[in-house]
Amino acid sequence: MEDERLEIEEGTEGGLKSLRVVVEEVRGKCTSGMRPGDYFILRSGRLYIPPDRHFCLYALQAVLPLLPAKQRVLQEGDWLKRDAHVICPDPAGNVIMRIEEI
């Protein structure tokens, strides 16, 4: 990943983990043009997309509800601790995304 291309401000909200959401696989044809390796960074409440890139709104809406929880410290046994994959709701695209701590 080329995170150095992003000008990311350090967050001021203590205790929140920074996350990267990466397109891991496209099992079809994504109508938005998403490709494996596309990503965005979430630092505190700010979302950063690399210059000259985009992230599909529908893929974003699929992953968005999980991000605030994944930013926090999770209890042992919490399913969010072991599950990191989300799929876009577009049945033609089947974009598989991975949420990872950075």
Closest Cα partner for 42 from 74, 26, 65, 75?
65
Give me the amino acid identity at 50. P
pLDDT digits (tens, 9 = 90+) for 21-64: 999 999 999 999 999 999 999 998 899 999 999 999 999 999 99
Specify the pTM. 0.81
Domain coordinates of the chain in residue numbers? 14-101
Q: Note whether 21 and 99 are within 8 A (CB).
A: yes
Question: What phi and psi values does residue 59 have, to the nearest 5 degrees?
Answer: -65, -40
7 pLDDT higher than 60: no
